[in-house]
């Protein structure tokens, strides 16, 4: 016999991790008016769920226990592709909120391993959504830029513009000098460079061009080639007498990507 218990949750008791879990589960912003703490013999550790999900769980549990007849699953309609002109504003606004929340979580210092895992999962989901909505693609860049700007969706606009800047970098002939093996048709999704390199504005050391600087960092990460089980961290890269800390992470598809570079003092700067 499977059992389930639930109780309303106070918003101030909900952690960053639980809010990200909610986002990943529902695709929506945490709703303090519809949050229930759920514990059961089959879910393991307690979870926070929306009321509608809780009701579906209760019905499924009663069906499993033989208290109700099983409900036939409705036939699913095939997905319909939506052209850019029919982008749903409410859905894109919700995606903007998701992106803002992820930035808030990313700013938190002293995160636990579980919180870092949820941040990574939230970022992967965000990139999937950005790709699905076409904000990482090439079609209609200027139109989408204007549309996002007109609706005040600044965080998504930042991702959209950064994706375009990354795409230009991937096609730049100067990059080939450092990465001759790079494919001609590399795309933003799956690149060895994170869009956050451009979204966050990583500075270029004196005497280098922005493209050659990033290409050096990408070359360094490619040569290091992190194993699939390795957790993201910073790598020390020496260029001449200078040492730089190259930070990498896995944005999507578990592909390592350069995020930013730290240095105490750029070469040529006064102490």
Domain ranges (residues) in the chain: 4-64, 88-262
The predicted pLDDT at position 212 comes to: 95
What span, in angstroms and rounded, lies between the C-alpha atoms of 142 and 156? 14
Alpha helices in 133-243 (DSSP H): 141-150, 154-171, 173-176, 196-199, 210-224
Q: Three-state secondary structure along the chain? A: CCCEEEEECCHHHCCHHHHHHHHHHHCCCCCHHHEEEEEECCCCCCEEEEHHHHHHHHHHHHHHCCCCCCCCCCCCCCCCCCCHHHCCHHHHHHHHHHHHHHHHHHHCCCCCHHHHHHHHHHHHHHHHHHHHCCCCCCCCHHHHHHHHHHCCCHHHHHHHHHHHHHHHHHHCHHHHCCCCCCCCCCCCCCCCECCHHHHCCCCCCCCCCHHHHHHHHHHHHHHHCCCCCCCCCEEEEEECCEEEEEEEEECCCCCEEEEEEECCCCCCCCC
Q: In this structure, is the dihedral angle defined by the CA atoms of residues 217, 119, 98 and 189, taken in order, positive or negative?
A: positive
The predicted pLDDT at position 7 comes to: 78
The predicted pLDDT at position 73 comes to: 60
Neighbours of 200 (CB within 10 A): 12
> Would you say 153 and 92 are in contact if contact means Cβ atoms under 8 Å apart?
yes
The predicted pLDDT at position 59 comes to: 73
Q: What pLDDT tens digit does each residue of the chain (271 aa) get?
A: 556 677 777 766 677 567 656 765 665 667 777 777 777 665 555 678 777 776 776 777 677 777 667 766 655 555 444 345 557 888 899 999 999 888 888 877 787 877 777 888 888 889 889 988 889 988 888 888 989 998 999 999 999 999 999 999 999 999 999 999 998 888 898 899 999 999 988 878 888 899 999 999 999 999 998 886 676 677 888 887 788 888 888 877 678 899 988 765 555 544 3
pTM value surpassing 0.75: no
The predicted pLDDT at position 12 comes to: 60
The predicted pLDDT at position 122 comes to: 85
């Amino acid at each position: 016999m499977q059992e389930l218990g639930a109780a309303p949750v106070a918003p101030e008791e909900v952690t960053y991790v639980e809010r990200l879990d909610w986002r990943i589960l529902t695709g929506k912003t945490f709703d303090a008016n519809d949050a229930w703490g759920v514990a059961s013999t089959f879910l393991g550790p307690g979870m926070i769920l929306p009321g509608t999900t809780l009701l579906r769980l209760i019905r499924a549990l009663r069906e499993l226990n033989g208290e109700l007849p099983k409900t036939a699953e409705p036939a699913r309609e095939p997905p319909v592709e939506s052209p850019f002109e029919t982008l749903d504003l409410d859905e894109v606004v919700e995606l903007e909120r998701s992106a803002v929340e992820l930035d808030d979580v990313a700013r938190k210092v002293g995160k636990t391993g579980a919180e870092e895992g949820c941040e990574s999962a939230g970022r992967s989901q965000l990139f999937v959504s950005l790709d699905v909505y076409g904000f990482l693609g090439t079609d209609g860049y200027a139109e989408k830029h204007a549309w996002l700007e007109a609706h005040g969706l600044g965080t998504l606009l930042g991702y959209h513009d950064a994706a375009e800047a990354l795409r230009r970098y991937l096609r730049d002939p100067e990059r080939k000098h450092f990465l001759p093996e790079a494919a001609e048709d590399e795309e933003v999704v799956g690149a060895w460079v994170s869009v956050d390199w451009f979204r966050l504005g990583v500075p270029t050391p004196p005497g280098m061009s922005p493209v050659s600087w990033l290409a050096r960092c990408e070359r360094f990460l490619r040569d290091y080639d992190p194993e699939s089980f390795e957790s993201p961290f910073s790598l020390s890269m020496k260029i001449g007498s200078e040492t730089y800390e190259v930070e990498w992470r896995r944005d999507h598809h578990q592909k390592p990507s350069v995020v930013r570079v730290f240095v105490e003092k750029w070469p040529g700067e006064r102490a």
